[in-house]
């Protein structure tokens, strides 16, 4: 029946009762004839509690020591899960990231996986045991120090381990049923997707969908490893993330997968920039030096006669203050007139691999927004995505209108305008 890697997040192992429930589920899979390796996060709020303890001891704890501290979290959950499995009559063995061969670089707090050498995991599987591996952690190749992988780390551990073990599937268990065509809290008619491609999932994750982290999807795509996102509270099929979303029986691939939104961005406008070569480079060089991640960038055409233009970009709200300070420091040198900051914005993105070959998608998209009275402030596109910036207050209306227009509401059909281009 093959080899399955199952990953359980913190909310799935928040207390003793949850741990016993997850153990039951793992043992059921094992007894059904599969080899099972498990990756587990720290219990519930453990990581936040540990960070709080660190803050009480030192306002700026060294990153190496913070990683040492935080990795205690998965150590507890993995040992407890192994005990619970054992109590159900199967042998389970827990392994730290280091013991499981998760080799990383030395960037504490945001380490990247360099290699996975799962010799002890394979040995445990060979002995008929269920290995339980700590998510989120690894060991530095150079210094042999313990590292953590940062946000989305446990999902990445699971996918990386599954790839190294040549598993048939990596199951990511979470507290929702799968990936939805939109956030169900905003669009009650959103529907669960049966399949999405890696590319679509990457665009959805980058556009604000929270279920899977970018890094783990990138890793899965590189190794062509199927991910199955599903709920740890039911046995329903969830969403498969695969290289080709087309079902064998489907004649046609769906055009659009979903509508994502993101409320974490802020918009900065640099007003009155001299329209000369090198000015934009100076602005973006300054921002890069300050470590600001830019998302969308728009530069208007120079207004006749003034020789001045405006440059607008979006960045994470958390970086907004830093971006403004960095730009103010070079205002005299660059010679722009003013800075405007606005964080009451929302980014709304339409994602679908089918839009590549399907004209009329853009027209439908902008018509839907216009009909809903939503004002578009910025636009950016990729091969399989269209994103706009609008008012934060209009996000529900915008996402709902687009979701309906593309027939994504449960039980409805797509209506796409004809025409050329997107």
Q: Which is nearer to a second copy, 84 or 225 (CB)?
A: 84
Question: What is the rounded distance in angstroms from the CA atom of residue 183 to the CA atom of residue 346?
Answer: 14
Q: Please report which helix (H) or strand (E) contains residue 140, including its range.
A: strand 137-140
Q: Which is nearer to a second copy, 12 or 364 (CB)?
A: 12
369 Cβ neighbours under 8 A, 6+ residues apart: 376, 388, 390, 398, 401, 402
User: Quick one: which segment of 48-56, 182-190, 282-290, 317-325 binds a second copy (CB under 8 A)?
Assistant: 48-56
Q: How far is the CB of 80 from a second copy (least distance, A)?
A: 5
Q: How far is the CB of 92 from a second copy (least distance, A)?
A: 8
Q: How far is the CB of 5 from a second copy (least distance, A)?
A: 20
Q: How far is the CB of 31 from a second copy (least distance, A)?
A: 18
Interface with a second copy in residues 119-138 (CB under 8 A) = 120
Q: Out of 56, 234, 235, 420, which residue is the one contacting a second copy (CB under 8 A)?
A: 56
CA–CA distances in Å: residue 131 to residues 107, 207, 229, 318: 27, 34, 21, 39
313 is written with which tokens? 């970009």
Q: Which is nearer to a second copy, 55 or 293 (CB)?
A: 55
Q: Is 391 in the site for a second copy (CB under 8 A)?
A: no
Q: Which is nearer to a second copy, 56 or 420 (CB)?
A: 56
Strand-by-strand arrangement of the 345-351 sheet: 258-262, 345-351, 385-391, 378-382
Q: Out of 33, 142, 144, 318, which residue is the one contacting a second copy (CB under 8 A)?
A: 144
For tokens 């994103």, name the residue: 387
Q: Which is nearer to a second copy, 112 or 120 (CB)?
A: 120
- Report H helices in 104-249: 119-126, 153-164, 198-206, 214-223
> What is the DSSP pairing of strand 35-40 with strand 130-134?
parallel
Q: Which is nearer to a second copy, 83 or 271 (CB)?
A: 83
Question: DSSP string of 202-235?
Answer: HHHHHTT--SS-HHHHHHHHHHT--EEEEETT--
Q: Is 338 in the site for a second copy (CB under 8 A)?
A: no
Angle, to 10 degrees, between the axis of helix 279-289 and the axis of helix 320-329? 130
Q: How far is the CB of 154 from a second copy (least distance, A)?
A: 17
Q: Which is nearer to a second copy, 53 or 337 (CB)?
A: 53
Q: Which residues of 6-35 are buried (b: 16+ CB within 10 A; e: fewer)?
A: bbbbbbbbbeeebbbebbebbbebbeeebb
Question: What is the rounded distance in angstroms from the CA atom of residue 44 to the CA atom of residue 14?
Answer: 4
Q: Which is nearer to a second copy, 82 or 315 (CB)?
A: 82
Question: DSSP string of 84-105?
Answer: HHHHTT--EEEE-TTTTTEEE-
Contact 350, 407 (CB under 8 A): no
Q: How far is the CB of 188 from a second copy (least distance, A)?
A: 38
Question: What is the rounded distance in angstroms from the CA atom of residue 47 to the CA atom of residue 68?
Answer: 12
Q: Out of 1, 24, 48, 58, which residue is the one contacting a second copy (CB under 8 A)?
A: 58
Q: Is 100 in the site for a second copy (CB under 8 A)?
A: no
Q: How far is the CB of 247 from a second copy (least distance, A)?
A: 41
> What is the DSSP pairing of strand 227-231 with strand 385-391?
unpaired
Residue window 59-98: x/- pattern of binding to a second copy, with contact defined by CB under 8 A: xxxx-xxx-xx-xxx-xx-xxx-xxx-xx----xxx----
Q: Which is nearer to a second copy, 69 or 149 (CB)?
A: 69
Q: How far is the CB of 50 from a second copy (least distance, A)?
A: 7
Query: How many residues sit close enough to a second copy to count as binding (CB under 8 A)?
Result: 37
153 is written with which tokens? 């780390």
Identify the CA nearest to 12 among candidates 230, 237, 180, 240: 230
User: Quick one: which segment of 13-21, 177-185, 242-250, 362-370 binds a second copy (CB under 8 A)?
Assistant: 13-21
Q: How far is the CB of 22 from a second copy (least distance, A)?
A: 11
Q: Out of 14, 20, 223, 396, which residue is the one contacting a second copy (CB under 8 A)?
A: 20
User: Quick one: which segment of 14-22, 151-159, 234-242, 345-353 binds a second copy (CB under 8 A)?
Assistant: 14-22
Residues in contact with a second copy by CB under 8 A are: 16, 19-20, 50, 53-54, 56-62, 64-66, 68-69, 71-73, 75-76, 78-80, 82-84, 86-87, 92-94, 99, 120, 144
């Amino acid at each position: 029946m093959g080899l399955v890697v199952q990953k359980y997040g913190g909310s799935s192992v928040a207390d003793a009762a949850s741990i016993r429930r997850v153990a039951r589920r793992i043992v059921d899979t094992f007894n059904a004839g599969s080899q099972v390796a498990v990756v587990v996060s720290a219990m519930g709020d453990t990581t936040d509690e540990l960070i709080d303890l660190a803050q009480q001891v030192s306002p700026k704890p060294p990153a190496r020591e913070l990683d040492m501290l935080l990795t205690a979290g998965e150590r507890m959950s993995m040992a407890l899960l192994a005990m619970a499995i054992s109590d159900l009559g199967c042998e389970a063995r827990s392994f730290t990231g280091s013991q499981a061969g998760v080799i990383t670089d030395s960037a504490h707090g945001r380490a990247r996986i360099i290699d996975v050498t799962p010799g002890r995991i394979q040995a445990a599987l060979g002995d008929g045991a269920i290995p339980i591996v700590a998510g989120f952690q690894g060991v530095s190749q150079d210094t042999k120090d313990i590292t953590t992988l940062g946000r989305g780390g446990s999902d990445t551990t699971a996918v990386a381990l599954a790839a190294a073990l040549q598993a048939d599937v990596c199951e990511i268990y979470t507290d929702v049923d799968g990936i939805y065509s939109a956030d169900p809290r905003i669009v009650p008619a959103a529907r669960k997707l049966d399949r999405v491609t890696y590319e679509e999932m990457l665009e959805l994750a980058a556009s604000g969908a929270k279920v899977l982290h970018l890094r783990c999807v990138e890793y899965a795509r590189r190794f062509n490893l199927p991910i199955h996102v599903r709920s740890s509270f039911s046995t329903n099929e969830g969403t498969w993330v695969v290289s080709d979303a087309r079902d064998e029986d489907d004649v046609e691939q769906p055009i659009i997968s979903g509508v994502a939104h993101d409320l974490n961005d802020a918009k900065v406008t640099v007003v009155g920039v001299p329209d000369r070569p090198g000015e934009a480079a100076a602005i973006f060089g300054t921002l890069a030096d300050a470590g600001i991640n830019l998302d969308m960038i728009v530069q208007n055409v120079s207004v006749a006669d003034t020789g001045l233009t405006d440059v607008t970009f979006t960045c994470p709200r958390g970086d907004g203050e830093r971006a403004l300070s960095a730009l103010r420091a070079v205002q005299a040198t660059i010679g722009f007139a003013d800075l405007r900051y606005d964080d009451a914005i929302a980014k709304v993105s339409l994602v679908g691999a089918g839009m590549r070959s399907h004209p009329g998608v853009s027209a439908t998209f902008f018509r839907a927004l216009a009909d809903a009275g939503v004002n578009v402030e910025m636009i950016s596109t990729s091969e399989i995505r269209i994103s706009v910036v609008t008012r934060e207050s209009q996000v529900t209306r915008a996402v709902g209108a687009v979701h309906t227009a593309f027939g994504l509401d449960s039980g409805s059909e797509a209506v796409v305008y004809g025409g050329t281009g997107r």
